[in-house]
Structure 1
């Protein structure tokens, strides 16, 4: 792993666990095992690191969710189930439940900085659009407007369940809600 990748991975972990505001440049340097000169060779500021972390997360989610699930050859009901399983698998792999990496960034930064808000908003709009198309295929009698509304509700349910998971530290909360979503929508 290159020094730049080590800095980004360290920053990503710290921002996920502590939040962007609470993560200092010193924290990132210590976690990455780099000096100030090395860090500033690759990044001009904490904001540049934060934007790179955000972009990295969104690119990863774009591939995992949009390409690997929504654009797969699976049946639409299987795509919906795969999306739910993808959410659950991420959280099951954790020992401490810090929440949703994208959701945390949205809550913390979208009202504070337009440079963070824009890509996060674009990603969420794409998720809503793709999910609405999937739901409309599953429920052919739904209008486009109804499918959009239901897509927003599904994502809200997912994010709300993750918030409850974060505060309860009980994976069963998320699992139960995701089973219910599968029953209702697929």
Structure 2
């Protein structure tokens, strides 16, 4: 990677850390410049605006990272119900990418930016839609092998899992990891009944 590419990635990673802790709107370009020790000119060389940098965070950092954690575990699954649970368990127990006090960076951005920016809403909907479709596909696959009852709606399962994940990430900010344990226990009971 070129020196320019390394600088751009460094700015994005440091910006991600700030935005994850403080929120997108509360993080200024001056905060980013102060944290990264790059000049304002260097910031604007790599990004035309804070918005362009934020959209880059979604497409270049969040999407690939969350794709690996949320979609890949369901691709070519031979036991989708078990893999759905394992995927959620792994997401909620991940201490490397996620911090319980800050919730999920994607959920935070969805809550903060989707109502006020169509560009952010479109970028974030790609992640949600891809995850939704992967869950639907996994449930349909499980139905084709009789691991899930035929009357179960794959779309309902996807919405339940995704909304439950968003909700428990938000609850975790105030209740801690105990909320995750309770959610996982309820999720296991829900999935068994499919």
Q: TM-score, normalised by structure 1?
A: 0.88
Deviation of the 1:95 alpha carbon? 5.7
Instruction: Return 5+ residue gaps in structure 1 as ranges.
Output: none
Q: How does 1:170-181 map to 2 (within 5 A)?
A: 170-181=176-187
The reply to whether residue 106 of structure 1 matches residue 106 of structure 2 is no
Q: How does 1:100-139 map to 2 (within 5 A)?
A: 100-136=104-140, 137=142, 138-139=147-148
Deviation of the 1:73 alpha carbon? 4.6
CA 1:130–1:142: 2 relative to 1, 3 Å: farther
Instruction: Return 5+ residue gaps in structure 2 as ranges.
Output: none
Superposed structure 1 runs of 4+ greater than 4 Å apart = 91-96
CA 1:18–1:102: 2 relative to 1, 3 Å: same
CA distance in 2, matches of 1:78, 1:33: 46
CA 1:121–1:180: 2 relative to 1, 3 Å: same
Corresponding residue SS for 2:26:
coil
The equivalent residue for 1:97 is 101
Deviation of the 1:175 alpha carbon? 1.7
Deviation of the 1:92 alpha carbon? 7.7
Q: Which moved more, 1:110-119 or 1:55-64?
A: 55-64
Aligned length: 182
The answer as to whether partners of 1:99 and 1:165 remain within 8 angstroms in 2 is yes
- Residue-by-residue CA offset, 1:58-102 (whole Å, 9 max, x unaligned): 1221133212x0115552233112211222122587565101111
CA distance in 2, matches of 1:184, 1:111: 31
- Residue of structure 1 aligned with 2:92, choices 83, 88, 92: 88
The reply to whether residue 66 of structure 1 matches residue 75 of structure 2 is no
CA distance in 2, matches of 1:95, 1:16: 9
Q: TM-score, normalised by structure 2?
A: 0.85
Q: CA RMSD in A?
A: 2.0
